[in-house]
A and B are shown apart, each in its own frame.
Chain A
Amino acid sequence: MKLQEILKNLSDLKADYISLREVHTKNLSMSVRNEVFEGLSTSEDHGLMVEVMMNGQFAYGATNSFELEDIRECALKAKNAALEASRFSLSKFTLDERPATVGEYNSPGKKGLESFNPKEATELLMEISKTMKVHDHIINRSAYMQVSDMQTHFVATNGADIKQNINRSAVAMSAVASSELGNQRRSFGDDQSTQLGMENWNKERLLTHAKRIADEALELLNAEECPTETMDLLLAPDQLYLQIHESIGHPLELDRILGDERNYAGWSFVKPADFGTLKYGSPLMNVTFDPTVHGQFASYFADDIGNKATREFLIKDGVLLRGLGSLESQKRLNLPGVASQRATSWNRAPIDRMANVNLEPGTSSLEEMIKSVKRGIFMQTNRSWSIDDYRNKFQFGCEYGRLIEDGKLTKLVKNPNYRGITAPFWNQLKMVGDKSTFEVGGLGNCGKGEPNQVIFVGHASPVCLFTNIEVFGGGK
């Protein structure tokens, strides 16, 4: 039965508002390790969430059965739960928080799951694995691919009707070198997911990266330990994407600022009064929320309550302008937000989330940035992250480091880490790379919420230079 018919069928419940959100996801993943096929796995998830508002309180019922009687039971449970919970409501909402949007979105991916060929995919991963076999010290060579197709259909009693079809794909790889000097890992692709399909898998490019990371893992075995000192820090986009995620994205979530996430994800150092005034970073810092970038990992037409997405500046010239919050959070705080009420799937209620949160490019070339550094370090590829409840004190580790001395890249160093505090760190942003250094990435496993939800987000960034950062190595 079509969603509109189901919705009509529920009209006798006499709820103040009902929406139905059907999500049908198909995933496929495959991996090869040391030229041994490790498995092909497919999964399918198909279910429906009923959202009901009664007395200004939203409640949800979710089922992966499409029998009308099961959906009805879900809707009835949601209605009763909303009525019961309305005695204890944290906030009262109205239909203003549910726009009557109509539209459709199709991601630009062409070759999705229907085009999957197991033989071709195996051969590609095998070849990547073989290419990483550059020395006996490379003890582990992993290659991994993932393709997913997600269809959502959202309808509501206010007339909203939105269909979104999103394809995603990614290839990732890693090489571990091992000797009596220890183990070193290099990887590529963990942040490279897009809404493009398998047509985006450029074999030549992937094999070039495979050779490079294996060589670099080997080279790192003999590298010196990263020094412990305060110096300039040049960060590549494959580290910055997570720095942006943890120290810009999460602290700007309005539900954290409201305190809803305190028990699990924590809250934020940002206060409601900071919007429009807080000097979050140096004047070179410009950050946008932009689900309209065609093909980035978290692009969409509208969020999961039907709010149409638009590009917005979160931080402009270093000043905080708006947060990442849904219409519900915007109402509660009386602050501007974005279209970001999103759910992992049909089985979770939508909450405030990031989508594409991007650091806009500046004007400096990579050469200019390196040349400007007397003593510093260039770090690539995240390997470890940790940040506190308020998204203040953080520590990140990277896979690859190279010292910068008197304006030139010099010695390779292993186990590079850095730490700092969010606002001072972004205020130490000294140079922002131009478009030639800009890379578009994403993250498929951002966790948040109780019950827990894992969601995909996009982050794009140029290379950036920070001054006077605390840097240190491994060991004890």
Chain B
Amino acid sequence: MTLDTEHNGDFWLRLDNAAKIYPAVKDRELTSVFRIAAQLKDRVKAKELLEAAHALERRFPYFNVKLKAGVFWYYLEPAGLPLIPRPDIKTPCRAFDRQELMFRILAREKTISVEFSHILTDGTGAFEFLKTLLFVYFEKCGHRLPPGLAYHRPEDPPSEEEYEDAYKKHFKRIDSRPPKRSKAFHLPFSLKRAPRFDLLTAVIPVKCIIEKAKAHSVSLTEYLTAVYLYSLQQIYRQQSFLKKRATNKILRIEVPINLRKLFPSRTMRNFSLYVIPGMDLRLGHYTFEEILKTVYHQMQLETDKKLISKMISRNVSGEKSPFVRGLPLFIKSVVLARLYTLGTKQYSGVVTNLGKIDLSEKINKLIDKFVFIPPPPNDILKVNCAVAGFDNQLVLTFGNITKSRELERKFLTFLTKEGVPVRLLQPYK
């Protein structure tokens, strides 16, 4: 069965389980908007990009929607707006106006970017959209696409599976209470004045850092998470005696997991959950190797399909509870905003890895690098990090709302000391 928004005026979508929290917390600063940018080898051609965007207008109707407030829940309604690329001259990841779509295509010099609200999709969904846009764009530029490429062809009708709530699809009721987590350590830096979202982008050779990770028999994400925790430990230790006594002593990093790898789904909406490896500083100082070992084992354990099913069950059960369903939206929003704050207090940072991007040998040659920019962190978390690997370049982007760059400095200095060359990119201005 296909989606027909033109003839079916009654088409609307419920927010997926992960998206439900974002309308309650988003504002001008905490936008819940992230970006994936493709830096091409050649300058972007305006006409071809316009044509490519136009070709995609009907392919992703579940993105061409507006957020509406119902009596009990928010929902998504078709917006029917044209898809027009815009110049990339403003702050990255800025909030969407009520009148515009909740995603945008941006272009500047050699870079084509897409920005999505988390209400619509996660990194994987946004990347699939960008991939399609790039393929169509290259085709319009006269490049022949190699046969067998997997992407959402503009001429294909969108299938129902693409806009399903995969959390609900894979929901199995498991009776379990969520674990009680103590509050985690948070960076002690003061916030910048609004608009406060600032970025630092670093490029490191993939081969070099993979070698380091392999030497410890861990994955790249596990290695980066360990570096993040090690840097946080250094910041904790640098504090005065009194501050150290007063602050929380648990370090935890939230690492999003793409659930499509565990549960079969072709959904283009949110379908990710988190694992939260961490360590307890009350037990003493950790060497990097000890942190790495802890992170590795916790990640291996927490990504177990049964444990993830338990998390899905907990989240979806909450949404299905008759009491929760019957609460009017304004009360739900207050509760969800509070839950979001409480959730953020349980971890100290975020490392989100888009993974290794490969668009076929022929297409890869047309692209220089991919940059993944995380959504602005809230005033508890303060800093987060997003990673994208392409060709031999691993691009790390730190989103920061504080006046300090200490975490980034510690993180990148650690890498250089390990022999990994780090190159900083011109900041987005």
B is bound to A: no
* A residues adjacent to B (C-beta < 8 A): none
